Chain A
Amino acid sequence: MGTVQIRNARKSYGSVEVLHGVSIDIEEGEFVALVGPSGCGKSTLLRMIAGLEEITSGHILIGDRIVNDVAPKDRDIAMVFQNYALYPHKNVRDNMGFALRQRRVSRDEINVRVTEAARILGLEELLDRKPRALSGGQRQRVAMGRAIVRDPNVFLFDEPLSNLDAKLRVQMRSEIKELHQRLKTTTIYVTHDQIEAMTLADRVVVMNSGVIEQAGPPLELYDNPATLFVAAFIGSPPMNFFEGDLVGGTGLVMGDGTRLALPEADPKGRQRATVGVRAEHFDLAEKGWPATVSVVEPTGSETLVMARLAGDVVRVLIRGRTAVQPGETIHLRPQRGSLHFFDAAPVPEVAQMEDVA
């Protein structure tokens, strides 16, 4: 049974707690991405599921068995590491067959399963090569092959695409998705790249500093970020934020006195708020928030306009093309129902990986 339940799991290294009570229920066949900035504890959590790190407190269940004290080899999981960890002295065939050999599967059976996995991943020609004679992308495939021949209950991936160049990363991303649709094995996938998480997963778990900020389907996180952190982390180009006092319901007065008219009031009636607007939720209008265009980046299907408003950069995504020129003043009108209100706070610095997509 490929369900995974994490119940209030904590992890401390010495006196430093790095995971502060994390709970997730993962269903059979689900593809869950753990995403968050570097150092937030994603790998630690994944390694606890794998049995490579002790669970300081709380429980982890795979199927209906508590695995806190079960050795990695007895958890029926397979893991793909960022550096692939291929056995350098074994050829591709033996790398892929190693786990089956450990389980005393017959030679014929191993052969059949390795050949099948190699066919799925396009590795047939490379079976007799040593890892050092493979390119980065090929090594990545072998690492995947080593996981799928096992036919485990759960796949664990720790940043498996981070060592590839951008183009290959996008290609392998699709292949991983396709593979999951075909095998339907429960998958937990760690990445710091929110686009990777959004495009791959059925459900995205956003982590920050050892806690879960929000978990849900990708578009739900995009449309309804529960916290300022999630709002800032998910989405590319990133959401625009404006911090200030809310006056008279629909007025936002910012630090320098600039007053912005909002199309709707904060449902929670805060005094001060940080208001978020996604780049594609602005209309260019006759009247609106005045901003001075600094850069125009056309990509053909859409155009990204960067402008300055009250000293801040605002990103505006325009469908199709635009005649807007740098230096020009434009008027931005946020669409009704597109505003995100949060308690006033500085916008978290989240290093986003710009992906080619």
Chain B
Amino acid sequence: MSQARKRRPIGQTLRIVGGVMVSIIFLFPVYWMVLTSFKQQVDIFTSPPTFWFEPTIAAYAEYMTRADILPRLINTVVVATLSALFSIIVGTMAGYALARIQIRGAATFGALILLSRGVPPIALAVPMFLVARNLGLTDQHITLILAYSTFLVPYVMWLMRSFFLSLPRELEESAMIDGCSRYGAFFKIILPISLPGLLSTLIFSMILAWEELLFALVLTNRNASTIPVAIAGIAGDTVNGANWAALTAVGTITVVPVVIFALLVQKWLIKGLADGATKG
């Protein structure tokens, strides 16, 4: 390993430089957004754009106190957390069943569920809206949570299914010989081993729910509306034009938790690998 490095220092350097450049390209817009959110209106529109300005939290102060941001932020947290939790419970058990229990047609069933993810969400949004309206459930948190579960459950199920498949089934068999039922083997042996993978999947699910726009737009309007809807509203304000300070401030608030989540995932994933969880 170290020898290979010594032999090819140029390749190594190129790879690092390449990596840094790609990171800059991807991160610059985020950086610019965060920067802009602390600017005053005059600084936002100076040309050429400036990196030096007197920072202000006016945009945050203004928009956080405005009625439609804080409740929407809370809605987003509630909907993302609950839909991810619900999906992780249902999806993990379904994934385990698909991975381990030999039922006739299980493979077909699994493929069908996966196939359902191939349907464009827009094709589902309108029927969902009609169903919700007939049930008197428009603009409710539960509606959004159920709607998100339609894509989160299959997502969790497939991730966890392949994770369970990577575990030797002798683990559960050993536990079953040692005195567990299949449920006991699942909860006492498989679940603890799967924890890092489970937490990562939970976080990814929360991120997916967190940034979902289409269903939120169609199924909610005020009571259960989420942050992505707010951003779309500000960006698409044709009357006053987009308010850049507001847009970037709300955008930053939306992104920060996602970044924290992603970092957590990385930490758990690495811990999981170090634990050798998948190796006997």
The reply on A78 being an interface residue by CB < 8 A is yes
B69 — which chain A residues lie within 8 A by C-beta? none
The reply on B137 being an interface residue by CB < 8 A is no
Contact A83 B168 (CB under 8 A): yes
Contact A77 B177 (CB under 8 A): yes
A222 — which chain B residues lie within 8 A by C-beta? none
Task: A284 to B174: give the CA distance in the assembly, Å.
Answer: 54
Contact B168 A85 (CB under 8 A): yes
A51 — which chain B residues lie within 8 A by C-beta? 176-177
Produce 1/0 per residue, A101-139, CB < 8 A to B. 011000000000000000000000000000110000001
Contact B178 A98 (CB under 8 A): yes
Contact A72 B279 (CB under 8 A): no
The reply on B171 being an interface residue by CB < 8 A is yes
The reply on B275 being an interface residue by CB < 8 A is yes
Produce 1/0 per residue, A52-85, CB < 8 A to B. 1000000000000000000111010111010111
| Shortest Cβ gap from B168 to chain A (Å) | 6
The reply on A86 being an interface residue by CB < 8 A is yes
Interface size class of A (residues with CB under 8 A): 20 to 34
Contact A89 B193 (CB under 8 A): yes
**Which B111-141 residues have a C-beta within 8 angstroms of A?**
none
Most chain B beta-carbon neighbours within 10 Å: one of A51, A99, A131, A139: A99
Produce 1/0 per residue, B252-280, CB < 8 A to A. 00000000000000000000000111011
Contact A72 B276 (CB under 8 A): no
| Shortest Cβ gap from A238 to chain B (Å) | 32
Task: A98 to B193: give the CA distance in the assembly, Å.
Answer: 15
Partner of B275, one of A50, A52, A88: A88
B171 — which chain A residues lie within 8 A by C-beta? 85, 87
The reply on B146 being an interface residue by CB < 8 A is no
| Shortest Cβ gap from B216 to chain A (Å) | 39
The reply on B192 being an interface residue by CB < 8 A is yes
Most chain B beta-carbon neighbours within 10 Å: one of A75, A84, A85, A132: A85
B173 — which chain A residues lie within 8 A by C-beta? 50, 52, 72, 79, 81, 85
Partner of A132, one of B168, B175, B179, B276: B276
A50 — which chain B residues lie within 8 A by C-beta? 173, 177
Task: A150 to B184: give the CA distance in the assembly, Å.
Answer: 18
Q: Given A88-B277, A88-B280: A102 and B180 within 8 A (CB)? A: yes
B184 — which chain A residues lie within 8 A by C-beta? 102
Contact A79 B193 (CB under 8 A): no
| Shortest Cβ gap from A70 to chain B (Å) | 12
| Shortest Cβ gap from B197 to chain A (Å) | 13
Contact B280 A102 (CB under 8 A): no
Most chain B beta-carbon neighbours within 10 Å: one of A88, A98, A146: A88
The reply on B189 being an interface residue by CB < 8 A is yes
The reply on B54 being an interface residue by CB < 8 A is no
A85 — which chain B residues lie within 8 A by C-beta? 168, 170-171, 173-174, 280
| Shortest Cβ gap from A343 to chain B (Å) | 41
Partner of A83, one of B170, B180, B181, B277: B170
Produce 1/0 per residue, B166-210, CB < 8 A to A. 001011011111111100100001001100000000000000000
Q: Given A71-B181, A83-B170, A89-B193: A132 and B176 within 8 A (CB)? A: no
Contact A89 B178 (CB under 8 A): no
Q: Given A84-B280, A85-B168, A87-B171: A99 and B275 within 8 A (CB)? A: no
Contact B181 A73 (CB under 8 A): yes
Q: Given A77-B177, A132-B275: A83 and B280 within 8 A (CB)? A: yes
Contact A73 B275 (CB under 8 A): no
* Nearest B-chain residue to A77, judged by Cβ: B177
B189 — which chain A residues lie within 8 A by C-beta? 87
Q: Given A85-B170, A89-B193, A89-B275: A72 and B176 within 8 A (CB)? A: yes
**Which A166-203 residues have a C-beta within 8 angstroms of B?**
none
| Shortest Cβ gap from A37 to chain B (Å) | 22
Contact A88 B276 (CB under 8 A): yes
Partner of B177, one of A79, A83, A86, A87: A79
Contact A71 B176 (CB under 8 A): yes
Produce 1/0 per residue, A206-239, CB < 8 A to B. 0000000000000000000000000000000000
Task: A87 to B168: give the CA distance in the assembly, Å.
Answer: 11
Q: Given A81-B170, A85-B168, A89-B192: A73 and B276 within 8 A (CB)? A: no
Contact B280 A99 (CB under 8 A): no
A99 — which chain B residues lie within 8 A by C-beta? 177-179
A residues with a Cβ closer than 8 A to B are 50-52, 71-73, 75, 77-79, 81, 83-89, 98-99, 102-103, 131-132, 139, 146, 150
19 A-B pairs whose Cβ atoms sit less than 8 Å apart in the complex: A50-B177, A51-B176, A52-B176, A73-B176, A73-B177, A75-B177, A85-B171, A85-B173, A87-B175, A87-B189, A88-B193, A88-B280, A89-B275, A98-B175, A98-B179, A102-B178, A103-B179, A146-B178, A150-B178
Q: 7 nearest interchain CB pairs?
A: A102-B179, A85-B170, A99-B178, A132-B276, A85-B174, A81-B170, A73-B179
A52-B173, A146-B174 known; 19 new pairs, CB 8 Å cut-off, are: A51-B176, A51-B177, A52-B176, A73-B179, A79-B173, A79-B174, A81-B173, A81-B174, A87-B175, A88-B276, A89-B192, A89-B275, A98-B175, A98-B178, A132-B275, A132-B276, A132-B279, A146-B178, A150-B178
